[in-house]
Amino acid sequence: MPLVLVPSFDHLPRPPRAVDLSGVVPDRLSAASSDAVKGITVRADGRETQLNDLFEVRGDASDGTIECVGDFSRVHFVAAGMAWGRFVVRGPVGRHCGERLVGGRIEVEGNAGDWLAAEMTGGEIHVGGDVGDNAVGSLAGSPSGMGGGLVTIRGSAGHLAGSRMRRGILAIGGDCGEGAGFEMRAGTIVVAGGLAAHAGLGMRRGSILALSAAPSLGCGFCRGATWRPPVLAMLLRRLAEAGFGPAGGTAPSGRSWVQWHGDRLAGGRGEVFVAAT
């Protein structure tokens, strides 16, 4: 049986507004007993408390799996820094979910807050709803965002998705807010819906793939060739195999793409691919 956490803090006289779940990950708890897990120290509104003061705790993480059942929108840093294992959130989750993820798999059935997968370096994250700002981006004061792994989002994403990312793949099934791929170093962003203004602003390398709506690119981009890059077909097949629905309906083998080069103000070695009409 996996370790199951169910929020119980709404019944407290003064329910916390923010809970920090840092350190509650399968790779640290797989050898711990149920009683030991219940006594783990977490923080609620900046104050230390025990895990079982805020959550109903069932089972253990001996099988490498933790399940969060219920509304975790006020619970932050879920699965942050996880090295291996599986983390399932059956509902919404708060900020910094999967931050600095090293390995393993995270599944969120609802929405996720800001800073999803910020600076992750490996593993997979799959979100069934929408996400906030700075998905897979860099943290404040940091020069680098996502360094590897795969993140798929069924819904829409907020502003600055993929900012300063260096490696990895971010796939967004809905619309994406302003500044996607801001100061991007490398990696790939795939957007099935609309791309808001300033996509690729300051990007040095990397690729942004617009599956449907052509973005409004800045003056730092120039139009290149219209062709069928084999690597894009491989990328879309991989995403389809990972369960990213829009990738499976794009007929990648027969589609042509318009390639835009930029941002020339930052070296011009990035690329934005737009489906040719």
Query: What pLDDT, on the 0 to 100 scale, is given for residue 249?
Result: 67
Query: What pLDDT, on the 0 to 100 scale, is given for residue 214?
Result: 83
Going across the sheet that includes 41-44, the strands are 47-50, 41-44, 19-20, 75-76
- Write down the pTM of the prediction: 0.96
User: Could you give the CA distance from residue 55 to residue 119 in angstroms, rounded to a whole number?
Assistant: 28
Query: What pLDDT, on the 0 to 100 scale, is given for residue 248?
Result: 76
- Residue spans of the chain under pLDDT 50: none
Q: What is the pLDDT of residues 197-220, one digit of tens each?
A: 999 999 999 999 999 878 889 999
Q: Where are the domains of the chain?
A: 111-275
Query: What pLDDT, on the 0 to 100 scale, is given for residue 57?
Result: 97
Query: What pLDDT, on the 0 to 100 scale, is given for residue 253?
Result: 56
User: Could you give the CA distance from residue 271 to residue 11 in angstroms, rounded to a whole number?
Assistant: 51
| Cβ neighbours, 10 Å, residue 53 | 13
Q: What is the pLDDT of residues 93-135, one digit of tens each?
A: 999 999 999 999 999 999 999 999 999 999 999 999 999 999 9
